[in-house]
Structure 1
């Protein structure tokens, strides 16, 4: 059974390693080899320290094995990341993470969530109720521009007070 726990700063290297595997394996179908290489070689952003310190990260595990993680910025309502171990993609890990991030967003009384979806992840986010607002270049911290979709999802009214 998939278990979720809050992420902490000591998890960052392990989670970043998972993220790098996911970028290399799952994003290669939508981005050039050069983009994937630069993207996957970038270090964790400094913002992760703030996000993990404010308990914005969730880690998915099963029998002690890392399956994925998600991060919601509690200040803005931006879904910063949802990454799943490539061998477990399509098995409900991402959905479980998104459902839990939505619960956190409801606790924070957000009226909407937003994110910048990589092209390979857009269908997943659509299935989670997000709508593509625009197709744009996302300025990645590594210095490259990645084509992405800016997406939004309105929160159910019963979660907004």
Structure 2
């Protein structure tokens, strides 16, 4: 099983490369090529180094290789939090890595006093989040910073133990 650790700003390039490979591979079944091309061409968001520095990001790695990552936006004093990302290297999907990362984010959220998590799921990821206990609230058009709209599903999960 892969080890988990907190992501650091120095991980940014590896995170973004993994994310881009995952989007190109796993989202191709639900999005047109031009949408994926625009999605993947966008550089990392300016907020990403801050999210990593805040301590809300986790990395799964094995033998020094990054296999996946997940990011929870930590906003002190809020009783809800946003799952910003969960990505797994396409060659390692199906091993339970994403579910373990998401479970660790949920534990982190409970420690922070959060009672609810929410996210905007890509269409291909909806079944994964449903297996993790998230409930679809509504379909939406997520305004990606590249200028495209991504069909997605807004989902939420109430956390036990918060």
Q: Smaller-chain TM-score range?
A: over 0.9
TM-score after normalising by structure 1:
0.96
Q: Which runs of 5+ in 1 are unaligned?
A: none
- 1:2 Cα offset (Å): 1.2
Q: CA deviation at 1:19?
A: 0.3
Q: Map residues 85-104 of structure 1 onto 2, 5 A cutoff.
A: 85-104=89-108
- The CA distance in 2 between the partners of 1:15 and 1:51, in whole Å, is 12
Aligned equivalents of 1:41, 1:14: Cα separation in 2: 16
Alignment partner of 1:140 is 2:140: no
Q: Deviations over 1:17-40 (max 9, x none)?
A: 000000100000000000000001
Deviation at 1:66, TM superposition (A): 1.0
Aligned equivalents of 1:49, 1:63: Cα separation in 2: 24
Aligned residues: 158
Q: Report runs of 4+ in structure 1 exceeding 4 Å deviation.
A: none
Tell me if 1:120 matches 2:140: no
TM-score (norm 2): 0.95
**Superposition RMSD in Å:** 0.8
Residue 90 of structure 1 aligns to a residue in which SS? Answer: coil
Moved more, 45-54 or 111-120: 45-54
